[in-house]
Structure 1
């Protein structure tokens, strides 16, 4: 039997409607992730959140973003919009990982906890061998986190109804890449 973690990627106001880099449906994803986690906490041996926590990410921020490699200012460390979404107030995560302080930081595996442990270290220390990845945005940080989870040897699922892409086209591209890498794509309702 698997020892499974839920990785909640970047469910922050900065990526939801009203934030600096909103994803259509972001607030609904936040509410849905919160409801899912509350109803199914017993499925998980560990719940981890990741947050964009930018201090000085270099060319990641731009006054003239291309929305491929550069973006408007978002997820600024310590700002209200970099906090976890209010819908997650009762999540009771076991571990918080912050990423992107001085770089792009797309993957949760690039971040660290407050005591400087990597996500991979946290998962291994807890005996985790499988992960479910949810959050924002499917086409970017969810995709990178799931791909890095597979590379690190974890059986990886993306719960497709608990994420949203930057655009439908980028979402389709992400799902194709994830499936090719061995990530299982499934709605949470099928579990």
Structure 2
């Protein structure tokens, strides 16, 4: 691994304030037992701050996202279609900048299914693109002299965002732990470049 680049949305909340925010935007303050459980999970997680694409405005404009069992797939996909590639492209650009070589030196692009960032990254059309990631990156780097593989992944927690519900502790566990972000690495074998790992 030659270099790492990361990116997060600009919106953030401290872990300490997240539970109150989450229960407020989902109109679930009346579920005090679940709220207390989530506060304990957040406190014990060791997480200080998390970044999110979604804000109060997201739920004001799309209230179906905060209501369990309301149709919201199309809305989620519309938001993801724009936000995920932008976030992935930012992480890829940071990795390339840190690498110090032109983007055109990337020979292969491997991306997470949602991180359709190739169009946002200045990489020549000759770059091999694939959705297979880490094992494929290692294979490409080791078996193709001079290969420099850009691996990009991005996720938004909005994909699984839903209101808490009694009997579904898994929902508050996920909400207590995950935020939004993207990562990119450039992998290569041989050459005189410094290696991160």
- The structure, 1 or 2, with the larger RCO (C-alpha pairs under 8 Å, 6+ apart) is 2
Structure having the larger proportion of residues in helix? 2
Taking structure 2 as the reference length, what is the TM-score of the superposition?
A: 0.29
